[in-house]
Structure 1
Amino acid sequence: MVPHRQLARAAMIASGTIIAAYWAALVFGVESPLVTHWTYLVLLTVPSLAVVARAVLVADDRLAWGALGIGLVAWSFGSIWQVIGNLHGVTLTFPNVADGFWLASYPFVFVACGLFARPWLRRTPKAVALETLAVALGATALASAAVVPWVNENAGAMSELARVVNLYYPLADCGLLAVAIIGAIVAGRRGAHTWMLLAAGALALVIGDGLWTLAAANGTWQPVMGSNAIFPLWPALAAVAAWRPRSVARPSFFGGGAGTHAAALIAACTSIGLLIANEWLSIPAASVILAALGVLATAQGTGRALAFSLRNSLEVARERDLVDDVRDAMDNGELDLYFQPLVNVADGQVVGAEALLRWRRPDGVFVPPDAFLPAVERSDLMGPLTDWVIDRALAAASGWHRSGRRIGLSVNLATGNLTEADLPGRVLTALRRNEFPAHRLTLEITETAAVEDNAMTGHVLRALRELGVELSVDDFGTGHSSLMRLADFPISELKVDRTFVAGMHDAERPIVATSIQLGQTLGLRVVAEGVEDQRTLDALEALGCDLAQGYFISRPLSAVEFAGWLNHPALV
């Protein structure tokens, strides 16, 4: 692909040189058809074909560039029809075949914009659509205020259809300009270059078509005019956008925010300026209506944005208060650990227990973990809370060992814990403080965290394994595991998610069987969560599952209750 890009770069340099020479010839009044006709057509058609070539030769965004290329070729054909007709002395009227080509180009160009925006369009806040509309209305109101009075005066004696068609061009250009401006803002720093070049080309169209419409309305229009010098910028800038070097990294989604708000605000100020000017100047009624609609769209979009920001602010405040409550609960002794036993499926022997965090407020209200742990995991309390859980759990397990029940202990880690470089050192300190053997401790991580392509995650997991600690993948089957990633990490255990175990007598049995077979093929211990009855336990034994836990075996118990339960386990 490098030769193509090198050839395109050389072509762009040559096109820029030709455009500069073309402009210089027009400034010095050169009237040769070679300049005013043929050079002009070359400057339109060659960049348009370059965009088509981009779609043909490069697979990336092929549909988008193909649509834009078709639109540019149709647009160029309109100019070819008109300029060639002029060379042959054909008298053209409005509208004619050329207008058909020009009008046909716009749908393809707007479709191309939609295809370019497709990767982030669904994630864009709805307020951005209103802000785009506000920018389009503001620009259209300004353009219409400049040209509508001349069109209405109609010194050129155009037909009604001709006036509508000629007015359509600058107004449609304003819509394209608005879309490109918002696209450049939303796409972010890496993705903005294409949109910025398209916006510059659209601005050239607005100016060129605006001058064209004024000349037609005044009766001074000619097939070839000095103002035509602006039109080659549109295909030239599109070709530059098509063939400019791409970053290896994918464009980031920026999401609008302050940038789109600012663009809408500028458009709203323009619209308000027109509404104020209408008190002293004769602003066309259509422009006044467009300006008023632009202000309304901005107000609606800004209202949505403010409501969204307010909801986010309230959510952040509630989450911050919740984290503070958990911090106080940890200091005041409201948090506690419960333990759910893990048993050997084959003989029912208790081989371990999973530590589960519980929070009961002083008023007796139980707060489920799902109600507060997600907020804690997004805060700086996650590290201290993890240390608290590990230390308390190890202290309880050490007591079981001293009483002769040398069973294992499982503790859950949050995804964020795996980015803490000092976690292995903290775990080692807790093991030594509680005199608990490292090989008896299993740290459970989510399936998503296990396969996350993160250098720090890999470093932390390997460091934990070097301590002798075992690692387990919790809720296996609910994520999107890569088997190669699972095989790369030092994992000792897979825990099949309870949703599959609970439904294994119906549709989920093949999933459970496959998970067990996969784990054993990889040399991993397999644990089934959520065992609710003897039938399920028997089915797991038939499938060769290693360990099981669930309410049929025992509900989670406080440390004192669990110590008593160990003396009389239900399945032994």
Structure 2
Amino acid sequence: MSERAHILPALQGSLDRARNESGLCALLVVRLRGMREAQLRYGYAFGDDIMLAARERIASVLRHFDTVYLAGDDSFVVVLPSIRNRTHALLAATRIVGSFDDTPLIHGDRNWHGRAIVGVALCPDHGTAAELLFRRAELAHDEALRVGEPFAIYQPEVTPVEILYGELRDDIAANKLDVVFQPLYDLRRGEIVSVESLARWTTSAFGVVPPSDFVPFAERSDLIVPLTRWSLNASLRHAAALHRGGCPLDVAINLSPRVFAEQGFAEQLLGALEIWGVPPEATIVEITETALLTDMDMSVRVLRRLRDCGVRVAIDDFGTGYASFAYLRHFPATELKIDRSFVDAIVSDRRTEQVVRAMVEVAHRLGLEAVAEGVENEETLRRLVEMDCDIVQGYHIGHPMPAEAFVAERLAAASMV
């Protein structure tokens, strides 16, 4: 049971009492950025003391009858009864955020500089049930994270996809996401040679959440690093099963450029390969073309370390960003993945076909393998064969399927040979 479930009855009691008084009431979710990482680094006792100090600080900038609840390792819920309007709730959020801006929280001889992000929901405007208001305040918090603001109020028209920061964070930690493998086909060898590992997330409340929603959300928040770590280990676990079973395939894992800023990330990745027994040469890390522009020096430094140890590097979605040939010349890539928006149009548009042909030639001149994404039919495949493309991927080759089922199918086929 989560901390949220423990405090819901108390929250409901506070809301019911507030509704009997004049005016509106508000529920605020307050989350301290970096608190969980501080607890892991300095210990849970440090985290507990800092959270108690943070609670006192929040209470010190509110009214004496406002209530502050501890809601998790890095979060609080605040109930504000008898407010006149939404502006008063936002003023309270401003005071909470401001209380952490300049003065650090102190534990022993160690200072901790916290940053608060606040989501606001109003009762009865946004609901009267504690759980519903809690969820909507979390949605407002997530919207504040998305747009880079310190606080936000719930607006249903702005947050149509209910991705909850806390729910995604908890599901990553509890290993509740799934891995699917999509095969890649070598046109010269005439066989499947690798798989791309992709994350999938299904929630109990809303069902399947598209990766196009939760991955960018994780990118905007501090969840992309734990999501990447989870994806790395989950992918390698299934890849290791293929290697042990005698039918090894290379595995491609998507990385966010944000993980490159993590201290020792290359060593963590190499350590994971050693733990799972997957050779570096059988591992491909994929980064989008925009990563070349995010922090070129950092990206090159980390990826060159991986390349020196045998890990391959693919530039994903090539053609959709603004990378120059100068970047490609210095970037330690081994593969160039041509974006599906180009590949899909080569049959219907002559100019696009020539652009893709040029991309394949550029890849080969740079000593890279050319990989075409989004191959959906036989005619597209035939054109790519004519262009001397190396590897193809798409629904015509194979749909993504649960990694466990993919591994079982490959091992069963191998045992029959």
- Conserved in 2, the CA contact under 8 Å of 1:390 and 1:411? yes
Report percent identity of matched pairs: 36
Which residue, 361, 375, 379 being the options, matches 1:517?
A: 361
- Conserved in 1, the CA contact under 8 Å of 2:243 and 2:249? yes
State yes or no: 1:342 paired with 2:208: no
How far 1:324 sits from its partner (Å)?
Answer: 1.6
Which residue, 381, 386, 393 being the options, matches 1:542?
A: 386
State yes or no: 1:456 paired with 2:298: yes
**Between Structure 1 and Structure 2, how many residues are aligned?**
262
How far, CA to CA, are the matches of 1:360 and 1:333 in structure 2? 12
State yes or no: 1:469 paired with 2:311: yes
State yes or no: 1:392 paired with 2:392: no
Q: Which residue of 2 aligns with 1:482?
A: 324
What is the SS of the residue equivalent to 2:313? strand
Point out the structure with max Rg over C-alpha.
Answer: 1
How far 1:505 sits from its partner (Å)?
Answer: 0.6
Provide structure 1 residue ranges, at least 5 long, that are not aligned to the other structure: 1-307
The Cα offsets for residues 191-243 of structure 1, whole Å up to 9 and x where unpaired, read as xxxxxxxxxxxxxxxxxxxxxxxxxxxxxxxxxxxxxxxxxxxxxxxxxxxxx
What is the SS of the residue equivalent to 1:530? coil
- Conserved in 1, the CA contact under 8 Å of 2:257 and 2:294? no
1:518 partner amino acid: V
Q: Give the 4+ runs in structure 1 shifted more than 4 A.
A: 308-312, 315-321
- Conserved in 1, the CA contact under 8 Å of 2:238 and 2:404? no
What is the SS of the residue equivalent to 2:374? coil
- TM-score, with normalisation over the residues of structure 2? 0.59
How far, CA to CA, are the matches of 1:450 and 1:509 in structure 2? 25
How far, CA to CA, are the matches of 2:314 and 2:165 in structure 1? 27
State yes or no: 1:330 paired with 2:172: yes
The Cα offsets for residues 321-357 of structure 1, whole Å up to 9 and x where unpaired, read as 6222111222344300000001112343010000000
What is the SS of the residue equivalent to 2:394? coil
Q: Which residue of 1 aligns with 2:12?
A: none
How far, CA to CA, are the matches of 2:173 and 2:206 in structure 1? 17
How far 1:315 sits from its partner (Å)?
Answer: 7.5
How far 1:558 sits from its partner (Å)?
Answer: 0.6
State yes or no: 1:415 paired with 2:254: no
How far, CA to CA, are the matches of 1:309 and 1:451 in structure 2? 20
The verdict on how the C-alpha distance between 1:309 and 1:374 changes in structure 2, with shifts beyond 3 A counting, is: closer
The verdict on how the C-alpha distance between 1:314 and 1:503 changes in structure 2, with shifts beyond 3 A counting, is: farther
- Conserved in 2, the CA contact under 8 Å of 1:352 and 1:409? yes
Larger strand proportion, structure 1 or 2?
2
What is the SS of the residue equivalent to 2:396? coil
**In angstroms, what is the RMSD of aligned CA positions?**
2.6
How far 1:456 sits from its partner (Å)?
Answer: 2.0
Which residue, 127, 152, 162 being the options, matches 1:313?
A: 152
The verdict on how the C-alpha distance between 1:419 and 1:537 changes in structure 2, with shifts beyond 3 A counting, is: same
State yes or no: 1:401 paired with 2:243: yes
How far, CA to CA, are the matches of 1:512 and 1:518 in structure 2? 10
* Residue correspondence of structure 1 range 45-194 to structure 2 within 5 A: none
- Conserved in 1, the CA contact under 8 Å of 2:184 and 2:392? yes
State yes or no: 1:496 paired with 2:338: yes
1:484 partner amino acid: A
How far, CA to CA, are the matches of 2:340 and 2:292 in structure 1? 18
The Cα offsets for residues 506-543 of structure 1, whole Å up to 9 and x where unpaired, read as 22211211110100010001111111111111111111
Q: Which residue of 1 aligns with 2:61?
A: none
1:410 partner amino acid: A
1:378 partner amino acid: R
1:443 partner amino acid: V
How far, CA to CA, are the matches of 2:260 and 2:367 in structure 1? 23
- Conserved in 2, the CA contact under 8 Å of 1:496 and 1:526? yes
* Residue correspondence of structure 1 range 246-265 to structure 2 within 5 A: none
Which residue, 553, 558, 561 being the options, matches 2:397?
A: 553
Provide structure 2 residue ranges, at least 5 long, that are not aligned to the other structure: 1-146
2:152 partner amino acid: S
Q: Which residue of 2 aligns with 1:182?
A: none
The Cα offsets for residues 79-126 of structure 1, whole Å up to 9 and x where unpaired, read as xxxxxxxxxxxxxxxxxxxxxxxxxxxxxxxxxxxxxxxxxxxxxxxx
Larger helix proportion, structure 1 or 2?
1
How far, CA to CA, are the matches of 1:446 and 1:310 in structure 2? 26
The verdict on how the C-alpha distance between 1:543 and 1:310 changes in structure 2, with shifts beyond 3 A counting, is: closer
